Amino acid sequence: MSAIAQPVVATARRAQPKPSGWKELKTLVPYVLRYKGMTALGLLMLALMGLVGALPQLIIGMITDLVQGSPRTLATLGGFSRRLLSPLFSIYAPFSRHALGLYCLILVIVMLAKGFFSFWTRWILIGVSREIEYDLRNDLLARLVLLEPEFYVRNRTGDLMSRATNDLNGVRMVLGPGIMYSATTISTMVLAIFFMLKLSPGLTMWVLIPVPIVAIVTRYFGEIIHRLSEQIQAALGVLSTRAQENLTGMRVIRAYAQEKQEVAKFDEANRDYVNRNIKLISTWSLFFPGLSTLIGMTVLILLWLGGKQVIDHRVSLGTFNAFYMFLIQLVWPMIALGWVTNIFQRGAASMGRLNYIMNAEPGIRDSSAPAHTPTDPFNMRPNGDAPEPQEKSTIRGEIDFRNLTFTYPTSGSETHAGYPVLHDINLHVPAGTTLAVVGPTGSGKSTLAALIARLWDAPPGTLFIDDRSIREYPLTELRSAIGYVPQDTFLFSETISENIAFGAVDAAEEHILEAAEIASISGEIESFPQRFSTMVGERGITLSGGQKQRTALARAIMRQPKILILDDSLANVDTDTEERILRRLRDVMRRRTTILIAHRVSTVKNADQIVVLRDGYIIERGTHDELLAHNGYYADLYQKQLLEEELERE
């Protein structure tokens, strides 16, 4: 089963226990506390909006009594509430045009004040949610760049992109509209029920009979919505992965005429996503009509019992009207309860998927680093603009492999150990010398290089740099001392100049030009219309394979590293260009330790020592002349390549 398919299946398995939205969402509390001042101010504005929002119903009740000519308005409202609203009651006079005008003016002012508080409530709370979204996105990327290759073997790019976009937006909805409408619902319900009890306790008890049923229905449908939301987000991850892979591999798809097949596969993932959404819509189709029915029952109870009380003159028409408007005011919280439930359940499902990344621990980290990496692991300045300067590395470049046997942590299961990729490797590379590694495909050459850069962790006590365990070096210091050109060349969608300067402390223009000249790419760059300002396109699509490799080589040279690792980085250039690059590289390589991985003997023949790997074992080692005299794999490879060159010349 693919890694990306697992979240959907896992979600289905987790459907049996009741989902806990709070368990996932509680990780947002520290983020909210960062903005506790603004959040408190926003909630204060919301409370004031709720208080002011209770006045229109009472004022309309007073106007109704005034027009009807009742001697005393809202007679059933007494105690503290009546004393609190005494300025409004002091205006009251039956059939008075002056009092009617004042009440209408006050009503307009109250509505304007409510709008004012509503604006600031939204501006503050939604603004805070955007700030937290900003923090979350930064922390998410900070976590992703810390995680080792094993994590990216288990998780596909499209799914991670879906988590960083759609899931993050779902969490923001919780922090903004979710919190705001929840608080609005609570304040509105509390104030409405308070005044309803003051106006008519008996009627209030009757109309609130459906409320417990609403709570039960909301909880039941909330669990279903949570489970379906998890499945939908996981299905969206599958869909995003399929789209990302199709776009990235478009040239391969067209070259193999697989357009129809890929469209069919995308259609399958798309249909699964739509079907899961339809299931959620079906749930909503039952949820909202159920809520509407319960709300209709409350209005029916009020019209029946309240109408009888008005006819019997036990309450005034104004009191009944005010009570009715408070009940109507409760309709929105009841509807919002369903909407907020959806927001929180979707947000909880999304936060659960984000927590998978945020809680992932990098298996490769500094020996002194805590188990849970801080949210600011890059020594950023307080304003977040730039990192503090790092101490200059003191690494000389002496490398020792001591009885190293390495197995990829992803190459096996819990019940079956993976097969070692490298077996009992013993190598000593003095500082400033060149080690060349040759061997057939799959022999472990690239793995050896990746271990030096600590992209994978060698077993303890098996890999040393300057007679010090590689695990003891801070990752920043170690990798700052290494210039690595991997077999799979990657260029960013920036200019050639920016790609060469990537990761360099001093990116002066003359240094960029010098690195390009050493990599034998400067002449071709100068022929481009925009020269070094040429955009290379996504993954360097506008450049040839050889141009991409040489640009990546210039990038490594630009760093002036103590250890230079070239993993088959000249495979896509012709032999003449290769010879030209190697001549320029010799001056560079004399001053630093170089690991040179290649398939061509012409690339490695001048190395200080050459090792031949086969099936993870070192089967030969020595200089070029020594290995030719040994008459083994290396000599055989050399003879074959000489023959190929002669045939090409003919």
512 token code pair: 């960029």
- Predicted model pTM: 0.69
| Cα angle: 422, vertex 424, 428; to 5 degrees | 100
Taking Cα atoms as reference points, which of 629, 232, 622 lies closest to residue 438?
622
pLDDT given for residue 41 in this prediction: 92
| H or E segment and range at residue 403 | strand 399-406
pLDDT reported for residue 412: 47
- Spatial contact of 98 and 105, defined as CB atoms under 8 Å apart: no
CB 290 within 8 A of CB 210: no
Contact 266, 243 (CB under 8 A): yes
Residue 492 is classified by DSSP as: -
User: For residue 430, what are its two tokens?
Assistant: 């003095």
* Predicted local confidence at residue 227, as pLDDT: 77
Secondary structure (DSSP) of 59-118: HHHHHHHHHHT-SSTTTT--HHHHHHTHHHHHH--TT-HHHHHHHHHHHHHHHHHHHHHH
The CA radius of gyration of the chain, in Å to the nearest whole number, is 36
pLDDT for 414 = 41
Domains defined along the chain, listed by start: 23-358 (1.20.1560.10), 399-481+561-649 (3.40.50.300), 492-560 (3.40.50.300)
Helix (H, G, I), strand (E, B) or coil at 523: helix
Buried b / exposed e across 206-241, counting CB within 10 Å, b at 16+? ebbebeeebeebbeebbbbbbbbbbbbbbbbbbbbb
Amino acid identity at 575: T
Identify whether the C-beta of residue 233 lies closer than 8 Å to the C-beta of residue 170.
yes
Asked if 487 and 545 touch (Cβ cutoff 8 Å), the reply is: no
Q: Exposed (0-12), middle (13-18) or buried (19+): which is 641, by Cβ within 10 Å?
A: middle
**What are the per-10-residue average pLDDT scores of the chain (650 residues)?**
36 44 78 88 88 86 85 78 83 87 91 91 88 88 82 78 81 83 81 83 80 73 75 79 75 74 83 86 76 76 80 80 80 70 79 84 70 52 48 76 85 53 89 87 86 87 88 84 81 78 73 79 77 72 74 80 82 72 76 83 83 88 86 84 68
What is residue 435's DSSP assignment? E
